[in-house]
Amino acid sequence: MKEKDLDRGRFITLEGGEGVGKTTNLSFITELLKANGNQVLLTREPGGTQIGEAIRSLLLDSEEYRMEGLTELLMIFAARSEHIKRVITPALERGTWVVCDRFTDATYAYQGGGRGVSTAVIDQLAELVQDDLWPDLTIYLDAPVAISAKRIANRSLDRIENENKDFFERVRDTYLKRAKLSSRVKIVDANSPLEQVQRDIREVIAVFIGLES
């Protein structure tokens, strides 16, 4: 952050495939940050606004809506535009820390890696919609696809969760490649027991807060 932005909130995202424990650990991260004296807003993508949640329903309703990868991508960025302007940026500007369940890294992984949409197209939309807004920290919960599949096997699956193994292998591969390219992305092994996962997350957050202080 630039010096003039020291009073601005920080933007943290949690990424990962299906069944890696994001829901449990979003709450854990939020409580860690609150314990450090921060005001925290927990939100999600796609979603976070009335329009965003309506788009989320269209995207995830199992098999009711079939769409091209580019259509899916454009809908996600439409939801993201509303989310950034109405929720994320205002919160950050008033000093609130924002914790978001997925953001643009997920778009590169799912629509880029999974669907095969051109990275260049995603780049262009990210620049248009986000300007210079990117997370200050991204925690990526990683687990083998076979393990993730077992964890979600007994629940009702949405349209994307119903994709095949090759799709999710491409998603995971893209996440890992992006993590290698950016120091803001920290990988946590989600195949470990929950206690270990949360110890690792706590360490990542502690280092991040230390760097910010």
Other beta carbons within 10 angstroms of residue 160's beta carbon come to 17
Is residue 17 a contact partner of residue 145, using CB atoms and an 8 Å limit?
yes
pLDDT at 179: 96
What is the crossing angle of helices 119-130 and 69-83, to 10°?
20
pLDDT at 210: 85
pLDDT at 159: 85
Is residue 148 a contact partner of residue 168, using CB atoms and an 8 Å limit?
yes
All domains of the chain in start order, with CATH: 3-212 (3.40.50.300)
Phi, psi of 101 (to 5 degrees): -75, 100
pLDDT along the chain (213 residues), means of 10: 68 94 95 96 98 94 78 97 98 98 98 97 98 97 91 80 92 97 96 96 95 60
Q: Which DSSP letter does residue 42 get?
A: E
**What is the H or E stretch that residue 6 is in?**
none
